[in-house]
Structure 1
């Protein structure tokens, strides 16, 4: 770990003596770390952090007093208001509604990430004029109310519609329209019964979705095993119900000159499960902390 990272970790260390915290304020990375992570910031420390230019990190700290976050919600820098919007509660009353009216769409996009929004405000953001705000709801509100889901699934923006179908299960009355829409058809396939028509769709993304469908009949599986598209055949090879002999035959047809395409194909057949979590950083004694501060000239 380099010196900046060690100082940042020390700045967030629980029960760190106050005099060491104040010394760490002089180091920009350590100051941002304490502003973001410490739960014991005093009023004086908060004012000093703001004065030294780390208001954005402070705004993202849910442990600072409500009046401080409300004050930061009026900050002239949009990035500071974004940090507040992402997790602030409606304290004082009306704060989240003010953020929903922020003139900068990035602030409203960050507000759409907030887990504390009432349904009526989420519905209001789902009708925001900026597609990026509406897309933020899809990315961060997986349990959005039904009226919000319906609005996004029928959104006028094609990217919003497509991404909505990837995240939300559509109501049965919306499914025919989503399957008829070229933009959403591939994503909607998972909610429909596989059919010969879908398996013969001119869009390879649709055929790939059919090939990955959990209820794919054996006949369609064997038909798609001979599909001209590599990714469709790869989806058949990845199926748990594909016979070993068929899988072995398919893999021999998946060779490509592109290392990236080869990696993608292989990953889809054998997705990894992620690495081990990082090791916990050690707690420094005062003597160790003093030595680190001295090394940094603090």
Structure 2
């Protein structure tokens, strides 16, 4: 078995200083194509990883990666979030299973959706082993939803069953009666949780994933409900059936007065609640229950405002994981005009929110509303983005700086701030004084030092010094003002 490191972390740890320096050159946006091609041909795993995984590539370099003899190098391109997905798709016929598996996995969730061409997805579904499809569902174009249920290839129709809840009655019926056995079995498997007798037979008697799924989504018979009420297998069982749409209304009423506040909080989300039940939950002694019922769609704004709810601002306000096409414009408008900050937060996450509501929510008194708007709307204004970064200190804060309209001028004044994130902010300013950039290469924070080493205003003398720095050589070599002559010299050292 090969002793070569395989994970990204192991590859990086195994690299020496010259290799890490060349990995920086591989990421340099000013690197000429001939330099990139020479790096691709070198024997360093960390260099090829940086080049093929962590940046966009000219077409000529992509062509060379596709025919590279090392499958580990090709696999990096298969999951590269920076290149056009159509370029990644060119690996669909790769002869090595690992490359195919990485293509099926695709870029990580943190990079958002990266949709492969529909014909590529079809090719993968019809030729790949199931274990190589990874998170392919995140790479399927939305257009496939309309074509896959009636596709001529049985494996594609079988895959369409994964969207069971979105399929029309006619599409479901056709898949249940499909001439192909695999398609029928997939369709039956997706729909069988709607059969109370099946749920009764299949429900495990111990806490596990299968029990959770059936208690939350299965059609619950009266017998199953009574079993759970009498002897729950886990502490969450009552809350799970409280969330199940098939729960009988008399049991819902019973759980609305359950001693466990988590169960009552779950009940408070149910649309079937009567006015009396809503009033009782609005006066619940537990704040989480009152807060949950304050979001109920049946309440008027006056009723909502009368509830003593609590809004938590100490949480993550980041990218929404709801696909843009699932937002309803009329609902978003209604929520944006609500007096309840949590409902306005929901509206603020809609990337298609119209300009008048963007303007309105940009000045919202709630921090969560402003930050969520800044994180998710492609036209969030510059002043909102900067204000959100200055005021919000939670997770995904730095992502705000990557939003389309984030301002980069007049930021250098933050270079003296106590908060290292603000000192990093100063380094986004392309006009930051060279002396300031130089000083920040010795900052106490490693991220600040790394950003300073990449800054185009870094004095040439200091940039040259950092190319031999054990910590910052990688970042210095990626600095866009590094002269091409220096890049060629560093690459030429590969032949020595």
Q: Output the TM-score relative to the length of structure 1.
A: 0.55
Out of 276, 290, 293, the position equivalent to 1:236 is 290
The answer to whether 1:89 aligns with 2:117 is: yes
- Give 1:193 shift: 8.0
Q: Does the CA contact (< 8 Å) of 1:208 and 1:235 recur in 2?
A: yes
User: Equivalences for 1:74-113 in 2 at 5 Å?
Assistant: 74-77=95-98, 80-85=99-104, 86=106, 88-91=116-119, 95-99=123-127, 102-103=128-129, 105-113=130-138
The answer to whether 1:19 aligns with 2:34 is: yes
Larger radius of gyration: 2
1:233-285 CA-to-partner distances (Å, cap 9, x unmatched) read: 423256643757x558xxxxxxxxxxxxxxxxx95x75442424265676603
Q: Does the CA contact (< 8 Å) of 2:49 and 2:73 recur in 1?
A: yes
Going from structure 1 to structure 2, the CA distance change for 1:53 and 1:97 (only over 3 Å counts) comes to: closer
1:74-130 CA-to-partner distances (Å, cap 9, x unmatched) read: 4233xx22222355435479513324xx44x43234333331355335651376xxx
Going from structure 1 to structure 2, the CA distance change for 1:190 and 1:93 (only over 3 Å counts) comes to: closer
- Give 1:17 shift: 0.7
Partner of 1:56: 75
Q: CA RMSD in A?
A: 5.2
Out of 67, 77, 83, the position equivalent to 1:47 is 67
User: What secondary structure, in the 3-state scheme, does the structure 2 residue paired with 1:284 have?
Assistant: coil
Structure 1 unaligned spans of 5+: 128-136, 227-231, 249-265
User: What secondary structure, in the 3-state scheme, does the structure 2 residue paired with 1:64 have?
Assistant: helix
Structure 2 unaligned spans of 5+: 1-11, 107-114, 150-154, 176-186, 194-198, 204-208, 229-236, 295-303, 319-396, 403-453, 456-478
Q: Output the TM-score relative to the length of structure 2.
A: 0.37
Cα distance in 1 for partners of 2:157, 2:260 equals: 33
Q: Does the CA contact (< 8 Å) of 2:77 and 2:88 recur in 1?
A: no
- Give 1:150 shift: 9.5
User: Equivalences for 1:116-131 in 2 at 5 Å?
Assistant: 116=141, 117=144, 118-120=147-149, 124-125=158-159
Q: Does the CA contact (< 8 Å) of 1:11 and 1:30 recur in 2?
A: yes
Cα distance in 2 for partners of 1:119, 1:154 equals: 21
Q: Does the CA contact (< 8 Å) of 1:237 and 1:247 recur in 2?
A: yes
1:27-84 CA-to-partner distances (Å, cap 9, x unmatched) read: 4344224323434243334323x42622221223524375x42322x4233xx22222
Cα distance in 1 for partners of 2:282, 2:97 equals: 61
The answer to whether 1:199 aligns with 2:256 is: yes
- Give 1:202 shift: 7.5
User: What secondary structure, in the 3-state scheme, does the structure 2 residue paired with 1:34 have?
Assistant: helix
The answer to whether 1:34 aligns with 2:51 is: yes
